[in-house]
């Protein structure tokens, strides 16, 4: 890649980062520990105090960050955030030959638009969503699904190696397509694990013994390794938010439906999206995706401390409806009596 004669190294390469949530914060921490200078932009400064204590610098706007960075990472929530931050702010302030790496799970079409806009500025963009959850982010074992220019991805490998392992999967947008396919598989595994645990308990099995027995066989998976004990222990702290899984599966269904004659039918993903959407509707969108087990439990009539608020809400909603009906009857009865008394 002729635009980058100097290799990436901690003493020369200036890193910019936007998006310091559960995943992004852990990834920034790893880059700081590896000796890189990292400047971060955050709307809520209280959430980055721990990164400042590790040596992170602060930018006061995305444009300010772009002007002081060679490589900019974004790890945001939704495609709309990416469009606003990257296309409407960062791009116009990039230094020549800068690179934007978007780790957000976003839309393939948007990734292509960002790539084209970056090239118009003599810069580069790589769509590189990740898989591996909060544990992978902390331990530097993320699977990085990179789309864009292959030479650029190779040049970025010293940075990717701090965070995990990057695999070049194709041109602009292909990283995002790969992540959508990944989420389809992960969602199916989460549903299978949730149903397996609920069935095992109903059958009188010890759930931990069940997981121990099957994890070495065909049922074993990274999903089971990451989330099996969390589900059993009712630990629903997020490695990835449930609302983001709904977003990812929704993008998969949308992209599949936009293929014209090559439409992709995804019945499993459609069912999974509805199940995860049930969590969001229950107010659990900020829980980890392993919370899917609570939906399967509710379907099977199990009352737990986790779904108790939902059950109470349902009961209260029913009671309010009944009270409303009684009040309406009383009101009509009162009006009728008042009318009759006035008539007499």
Taking all residues of the chain, what is their mean pLDDT, rounded to a whole number?
89
Tokens of 268: 């499993």
Tokens of 302: 């199990």
pLDDT in tens, 158-192: 999 999 999 999 999 999 999 999 999 999 999 99
Asked if 127 and 82 touch (Cβ cutoff 8 Å), the reply is no
Tokens of 55: 């040596």
Read off the pLDDT of each residue in 61-74 and give the average, rounded to a whole number. Answer: 95
Tokens of 138: 């902390």
Active site residue 179: yes
| Residue among 179, 215, 286, 321 flagged as catalytic | 179
Please check whether residues 95 and 65 belong to one and the same domain: yes
Closest by Cα among 193, 195, 145, 197 to 168: 145
d(CA 298, CA 306): 10
For residue 153, pLDDT over 80 is answered with yes
The confidence score (pLDDT) of residue 264 equals 86
* Domain-located, residue 78: yes
Judged by average pLDDT, the poorest of 74-83, 295-304, 334-343 is 334-343
Please check whether residues 196 and 293 belong to one and the same domain: yes
Please check whether residues 33 and 156 belong to one and the same domain: yes
Judged by average pLDDT, the poorest of 91-95, 272-276, 337-341 is 337-341
* Domain-located, residue 218: yes
Neighbours of 235 (CB within 10 A): 12
Domain that holds residue 126: 14-172
* Domain-located, residue 214: yes
**Helical spans, DSSP H, in the chain:** 22-33, 49-52, 62-67, 79-82, 91-93, 108-120, 133-139, 150-163, 174-202, 207-214, 222-232, 242-257, 267-281, 292-299, 308-343
The confidence score (pLDDT) of residue 263 equals 81
For residue 299, pLDDT over 50 is answered with yes
Tokens of 139: 């331990």
The confidence score (pLDDT) of residue 47 equals 85
* Domain-located, residue 138: yes
Please check whether residues 77 and 128 belong to one and the same domain: yes
Asked if 197 and 232 touch (Cβ cutoff 8 Å), the reply is yes
Higher-confidence residue of 340 and 240: namely 240
The confidence score (pLDDT) of residue 75 equals 96
The confidence score (pLDDT) of residue 1 equals 47
SS3 102: strand
The confidence score (pLDDT) of residue 54 equals 96
pLDDT in tens, 72-127: 999 999 999 999 999 988 999 999 999 999 999 999 999 999 999 999 999 999 99
For residue 154, pLDDT over 90 is answered with yes
Please check whether residues 33 and 102 belong to one and the same domain: yes
Please check whether residues 35 and 97 belong to one and the same domain: yes
Asked if 223 and 190 touch (Cβ cutoff 8 Å), the reply is yes
For residue 310, pLDDT over 70 is answered with no
CATH number for 256: 1.10.1040.10
SS3 246: helix
For residue 322, pLDDT over 70 is answered with no
The confidence score (pLDDT) of residue 335 equals 63
Is the CA virtual torsion 281, 283, 289, 292 positive or negative? negative
For residue 308, pLDDT over 60 is answered with no
pLDDT in tens, 30-41: 999 999 999 999
Please check whether residues 260 and 279 belong to one and the same domain: yes
Residue 146, beta-bridge partner list: 168
Higher-confidence residue of 16 and 314: namely 16
* Domain-located, residue 327: no
pLDDT in tens, 224-237: 999 999 999 999 99
Helices 292-299 and 267-281: angle between axes, nearest 10 degrees: 90
Q: Total domain count for the chain?
A: 2
Please check whether residues 146 and 193 belong to one and the same domain: no
Question: How sure is the predictor about 150, in pLDDT bands with cuts at 50, 70 and 90?
Answer: very high
Closest by Cα among 108, 110, 118, 97 to 145: 108
Asked if 92 and 117 touch (Cβ cutoff 8 Å), the reply is no
Examine the fold and report which residue of 172, 202, 236 is the final residue of a domain before the chain moves on.
172
* Domain-located, residue 287: yes
The confidence score (pLDDT) of residue 261 equals 65
For residue 8, pLDDT over 60 is answered with yes
Please check whether residues 198 and 62 belong to one and the same domain: no
d(CA 193, CA 185): 12
In percent, the amount of the chain with pLDDT more than 70 equals 85
d(CA 311, CA 321): 15
């Amino acid at each position: 890649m002729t635009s980058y004669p100097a290799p990436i190294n901690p003493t020369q390469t200036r890193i910019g980062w936007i998006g310091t949530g559960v995943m992004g914060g852990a990834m920034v921490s790893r880059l700081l520990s590896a000796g890189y200078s990292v400047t971060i932009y955050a709307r809520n400064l209280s959430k980055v105090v721990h990164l400042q204590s590790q040596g992170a610098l602060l930018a006061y706007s995305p444009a300010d960050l772009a002007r002081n960075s060679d490589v900019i990472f974004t790890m945001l929530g939704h495609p709309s955030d990416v469009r606003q931050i990257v296309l409407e702010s960062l791009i116009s302030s990039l230094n020549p030959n800068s690179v934007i790496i978007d780790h957000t799970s976003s839309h393939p079409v948007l990734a292509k638009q960002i790539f084209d806009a970056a090239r118009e500025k003599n810069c580069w963009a790589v769509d590189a969503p990740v898989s591996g959850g909060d544990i992978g982010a902390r331990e530097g074992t993320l699977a990085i699904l990179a789309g864009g220019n292959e030479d650029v991805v190779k040049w970025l490998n010293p940075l990717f190696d701090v965070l995990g392992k990057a695999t070049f999967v194709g041109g602009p947008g292909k990283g995002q397509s790969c992540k959508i396919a990944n989420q389809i598989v992960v969602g199916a595994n989460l549903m299978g694990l949730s149903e397996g645990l609920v069935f095992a308990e109903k059958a009188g099995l010890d759930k931990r013994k069940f997981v121990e027995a099957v994890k070495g066989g065909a049922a074993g998976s990274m999903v089971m390794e990451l989330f099996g004990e969390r589900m059993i222990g009712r630990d629903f702290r997020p490695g990835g938010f449930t609302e983001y899984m709904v977003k990812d599966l929704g993008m998969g269904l949308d992209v599949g439906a936009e293929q014209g004659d090559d439409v992709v039918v995804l019945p499993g993903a459609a069912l999974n999206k509805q199940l995860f959407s049930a969590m969001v509707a229950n107010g659990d969108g900020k829980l980890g995706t392993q919370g899917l087990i609570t939906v399967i439990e509710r379907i099977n009539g199990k009352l737990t401390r986790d779904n108790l608020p939902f059950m109470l809400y349902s009961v209260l909603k029913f009671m309010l409806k009944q009270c409303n009906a009684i009040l309406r009857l009383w009101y009509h009865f009162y009006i009728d009596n008042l009318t009759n008394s006035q008539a007499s």
